[in-house]
A and B are shown apart, each in its own frame.
Chain A
Amino acid sequence: MSAAITAESSAAGETRAGLALALPALMLFTGIVVIPLVMTVMLSFHDWGQYKGIEPVFILKNWREIVDDPYYAEMFWRTFRVAAFATLITAVFGVPEAYILNRMGRPWKGLFLLLILGPLLISVVARTLGWALLFGGNNGLANKLLMSSGLIASPVRFMFTETGMVIALAHAMMPFMVLAVWTALQRLDPQIENAAVSLGAGALTVVRRIILPQIMPGVLSGAVIVFSLSASAFATPAIIGGRRLKVAATLAYDEFLNTLNWPLGAAVAVLLLVALVLIVVGSNTLIERRYAEAFR
């Protein structure tokens, strides 16, 4: 009996100690994430005027403007379209890349992993400026190369277009996709391909029927990461898209810093956040439900 009481009180003590240990992190989280977020949400309901500045009242003006003005719908549509294409490209190139990387031998594997992850060590701004140089107008290196190889007849516009934005974003996000797929590949039984081959499967069948289904959760989680990072990316769209071709992140930035209409910028930012959270949580739930049986 007394032992039970001691155990119980020690369990309670443990809970208390656990709470105490979690407190610093909890305070930090509250201070730098929750409070600014709540303030941003509140800000989006405030009024703003050219001459009166921000007025702390509760109105739906900003939200109504976003819903009514097709300009914002176009902006959000473009944001998600660019992110979706960037995700598609990272998946199409990243999955084979990870597969090849996983099959490489000793010295090469490390080297190529470094090459793939290396860009993460360089600022996104520097990488995107690099793309801007490659794209460069009609005489950019990318156009020269494509034209001399006969792939295109006339120069393609990359700068200030969605095409350029998608290419630069896909490049910036590639490491995340490769890493996610590579992690999934490493969980595969090393004999699984041999097993399929011994049962009479050809190379293509092995990839299609055995490998792909097993790494699909990895591809999908990589896609979720790439999509949410692309949709909320700022530097790449700002440099490639400029001030003409805006996405949600650059729009919020301009509202805050150029127009000084903080409440409207806050509304755009909150809407982007909510949409992304819904997409990420929704697709995660779908992935988990789809693969619950086989990968629990």
Chain B
Amino acid sequence: MSFLELERVGKSFGPTTAVEEFNLAVAKGEFISFLGPSGCGKTTTLQMIAGFLDPSHGAIRLEGKDLLKITPAKRGLGIVFQSYALFPHMTAAENVAFGLEMRKVSRAECAKRVCAALALVGLAGYEDRHPRRMSGGQQQRVALARALVIRPSVLLLDEPLSNLDARLREDMQIELRQIQRNLGTTTILVTHDQIEAMSLSDRIVVMSKGKIEQIGTPQEVYERPASAFVAQFLGKTNEFAATVDCAAQAAKLVAGGWSAPAPAGVAGAVTVSVRPERISFGDNGLSGRITSRIFQGNQWLFQCDTECGPAIVIRQNDGRPQPEQGAAVHLTWQASDMSLRAAGGTA
């Protein structure tokens, strides 16, 4: 039996459906991300788990117990809010201690656990600071300590890193992952940042318009996207119209000047999608011209005009010379690096 279970959970606000048919089983200690654009229902789902919203239908179970029968105050979940929602009139230590006070933990034990929680997030020595006098990153850490100190069965993170600048966000991602691994707390993260979702989670739930598009490990959803939406939302991707040519003895997949043996079971017009970092410049293949070349330090970003439409190519900056802007090139890739779907279809 899984630790946290969401079964056919749905939520509608009047005539609009925010979430529908949400099925998910989370194992103990797992780190799950709800990933999707704003308005896809990921925060609504999180709020239903937290108990701030009641699902219109469906069931949510934690260790087999019906979570919907328990009030939010008694669910014992740790939540970190996007705005942190720290209590501004309390010091960092008082903020962290609040949940323990509500649980009637003895004063000595409370002090010990608050100290340990603040040390865990690297804020030892900041006990007496008020939130207003802390930086965004520090406030974030207090919020995390406050959620973790009550030893929650599930930790819910609602876009916790989106208010931090890029450098700090990366540091916090690494730290968050380490803390989660060490404590083994089952965690659900809501985010619209695909890199954040991929670098933190064991599994990603990709959502769009209230529906689950795909559930899988970061590699699975990136390498084998189940739908056009997933392919486009996670990282950049190129899509070319291709045809399966059955005239030769062996069926051939053809996109402009590029061709490969066609996999079994496809015919007619298909859409080929290839990640930009899997494309290389070769002597033959899809012919095109480089329209712009951008140096990004560790990599080069090329924009090309090909016979099958625009394409982007990313090459590692490995010190070798790269084609100039305006150069005629041929794009080529391994058959295993692309995914196929019937043209116009979604999967």
Q: Chain A: residues with CB nearer than 8 A to chain B?
A: 189-192, 194-202, 205, 209-210, 213-214, 291, 293-296
Interface SS of chain B:
loop
Q: Which residues of A contact B90 (CB under 8 A)?
A: 294
Q: Decide: B72 and A198 in contact? CB cutoff 8 A.
A: yes
Q: Decide: B99 and A199 in contact? CB cutoff 8 A.
A: yes
Nearest CB of chain A from residue B271's CB, rounded to whole Å = 42
Q: Which residues of A contact B84 (CB under 8 A)?
A: 189
B260 at the interface (CB under 8 A from A): no
- A119 to B144 CA separation, bound complex (whole angstroms): 47
Q: Decide: A200 and B87 in contact? CB cutoff 8 A.
A: no
**Given A191-B82, A214-B87, A294-B90, 19 additional A-B pairs, CB 8 A:** A189-B81, A189-B83, A189-B84, A194-B52, A194-B79, A194-B81, A198-B78, A199-B98, A199-B99, A199-B146, A199-B150, A200-B76, A201-B73, A202-B73, A213-B89, A293-B133, A294-B89, A294-B132, A295-B132
Q: Which residues of A contact B79 (CB under 8 A)?
A: 194-195, 198
B112 at the interface (CB under 8 A from A): no
- A213 to B98 CA separation, bound complex (whole angstroms): 14
- A201 to B90 CA separation, bound complex (whole angstroms): 15
Q: Decide: B130 and A294 in contact? CB cutoff 8 A.
A: yes
For chain B residues 67-107, which have a beta carbon within 8 Å of chain A?
A: 72-79, 81-90, 98-99, 102-103
Q: Decide: B87 and A196 in contact? CB cutoff 8 A.
A: yes
Q: Decide: B85 and A194 in contact? CB cutoff 8 A.
A: yes
Q: Decide: B103 and A189 in contact? CB cutoff 8 A.
A: no
* Residue of A with least CB distance to B98: A199
B242 at the interface (CB under 8 A from A): no
* Residue of B with least CB distance to A190: B83
Nearest CB of chain A from residue B253's CB, rounded to whole Å = 51
With beta carbons under 8 angstroms apart, the residue of A191, A196, A293, A295 that contacts B98 is A196
Which residue of A191, A200, A213 has the most chain B CB atoms within 10 A of its CB atom?
A200
Nearest CB of chain B from residue A67's CB, rounded to whole Å = 43
Pick 25 A–B contacts, CB within 8 A, sort by A: A191-B81, A191-B85, A192-B85, A194-B72, A195-B81, A195-B86, A196-B87, A197-B52, A197-B73, A198-B73, A198-B78, A199-B98, A199-B102, A200-B73, A201-B73, A201-B102, A209-B98, A210-B87, A293-B130, A293-B133, A294-B88, A294-B89, A294-B130, A295-B89, A296-B133
Q: Which residues of B contact A202 (CB under 8 A)?
A: 73
- A234 to B312 CA separation, bound complex (whole angstroms): 77
Q: Which residues of A contact B132 (CB under 8 A)?
A: 294-296
- A293 to B132 CA separation, bound complex (whole angstroms): 8
B50 at the interface (CB under 8 A from A): yes
- A195 to B156 CA separation, bound complex (whole angstroms): 12
Q: Decide: A295 and B88 in contact? CB cutoff 8 A.
A: yes
Nearest CB of chain A from residue B335's CB, rounded to whole Å = 49
Q: Which residues of A contact B130 (CB under 8 A)?
A: 293-294
- A192 to B72 CA separation, bound complex (whole angstroms): 14
Q: Which residues of B contact A209 (CB under 8 A)?
A: 98
- A145 to B90 CA separation, bound complex (whole angstroms): 46
- A291 to B88 CA separation, bound complex (whole angstroms): 11
Given A295-B88, A295-B132, A197 contacting B99 (CB threshold 8 A):
no
- A293 to B88 CA separation, bound complex (whole angstroms): 9
- A235 to B323 CA separation, bound complex (whole angstroms): 87
- A200 to B147 CA separation, bound complex (whole angstroms): 11
Q: Which residues of A contact B133 (CB under 8 A)?
A: 293, 296
Q: Decide: B85 and A200 in contact? CB cutoff 8 A.
A: no
Q: Which residues of A contact B103 (CB under 8 A)?
A: 200
* Residue of B with least CB distance to A194: B52
- A210 to B78 CA separation, bound complex (whole angstroms): 18
- A296 to B87 CA separation, bound complex (whole angstroms): 14
Q: Which residues of B contact A210 (CB under 8 A)?
A: 87
Q: Which residues of B contact A198 (CB under 8 A)?
A: 50, 72-73, 75, 77-79, 147
Q: Decide: B150 and A200 in contact? CB cutoff 8 A.
A: yes
- A194 to B76 CA separation, bound complex (whole angstroms): 13
Q: Which residues of B contact A291 (CB under 8 A)?
A: 89
- A198 to B88 CA separation, bound complex (whole angstroms): 17
Nearest CB of chain A from residue B53's CB, rounded to whole Å = 10
* Residue of A with least CB distance to B103: A200
Nearest CB of chain A from residue B346's CB, rounded to whole Å = 36
Q: Which residues of B contact A213 (CB under 8 A)?
A: 89
- A200 to B75 CA separation, bound complex (whole angstroms): 8
Q: Which residues of A contact B147 (CB under 8 A)?
A: 198
Nearest CB of chain A from residue B99's CB, rounded to whole Å = 4
Q: Decide: A214 and B72 in contact? CB cutoff 8 A.
A: no
- A57 to B186 CA separation, bound complex (whole angstroms): 85
Mask for B125-143, Cβ within 8 A of A = 1, else 0?
Answer: 0000010110000000000
